[in-house]
Each structure stands twice: as C-alpha cells, then as structure tokens.
C-alpha cells in the first residue's frame, strides 16, 4: 500500500458512522476496502463468540475488549482525518479535499 495525497473516493461520513455503529464487526474496514483489517475484526468477533459458546466468558470479554479498543483508536483516527483507505488515500471531509 502506497501513501497518496489523492483523497479517498469513500465518504468520510459513512466511514465514521459505520465505525461508530458496527465498529467491532469491521464493516468500516470493508467499506474502505481495507480487507485484511476487516477480516481481522471479523475474526476477533468470531473468536469471542466461540469462546463465549464454549463457556470461556472471561476470554470472550477480553477479546471483545481488545476489539473495542482497536475500534476506538480507528474511530479517533477517522474523526481527526488521519485514517487512510485500503489504497492509502486519506479519508477526509469533502470540503478539505
């Protein structure tokens, strides 16, 4: 992935909303075409569900907490316009492009 000064064609508002609402599922990563990050988020969610189903509630909570922390960090970077899409283009408000 190369860093580019070209603005991402993806909507800043949609990316922020998806991260805020569906953050631990990684939907925002898929929207931004950051497939590996999205798969990692989905994997963590599935792992947490698997731990919970097997009766390992403590491990399930730990995995969900790590995923939530990751989501908060990504949400922060999206809000301050420092996050990039899967092609390395900054996700920014339209007026700043």
Task: With respect to residue 79, please indicate whether it lies within any of the assigned structural domains.
Answer: yes
Q: What would the pLDDT profile of 67-94 be if each residue is shown by its tens digit?
A: 999 999 999 999 999 999 999 999 998 7
Task: With respect to residue 97, please indicate whether it lies within any of the assigned structural domains.
Answer: no
Task: With respect to residue 4, please indicate whether it lies within any of the assigned structural domains.
Answer: no
Task: With respect to residue 5, please indicate whether it lies within any of the assigned structural domains.
Answer: no
| Domain of residue 69, residue span | 12-91
Q: What would the pLDDT profile of 18-75 be if each residue is shown by its tens digit?
A: 999 999 999 999 999 999 999 999 999 999 999 999 999 999 999 999 999 999 999 9
Q: Based on the structure, what is the number of domains in the chain? A: 1
Tokens 């007026």 correspond to what residue?
95
Q: Residue 18's closest CA among 41, 1, 52, 36?
A: 41
- pTM value is 0.86
């Amino acid at each position: 992935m190369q860093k580019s000064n070209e603005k991402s064609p993806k909507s800043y508002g949609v990316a922020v909303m998806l991260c805020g609402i569906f953050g631990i599922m990684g939907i925002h990563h898929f929207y931004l075409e950051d497939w590996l990050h999205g798969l990692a988020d989905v994997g963590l969610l599935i792992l947490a569900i698997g731990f919970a189903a097997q009766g390992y509630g403590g491990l399930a909570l730990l995995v969900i907490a790590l995923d939530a922390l990751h989501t908060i960090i990504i949400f922060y970077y999206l809000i301050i316009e420092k996050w990039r899409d899967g092609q390395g283009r900054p996700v920014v408000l339209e007026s700043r492009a």
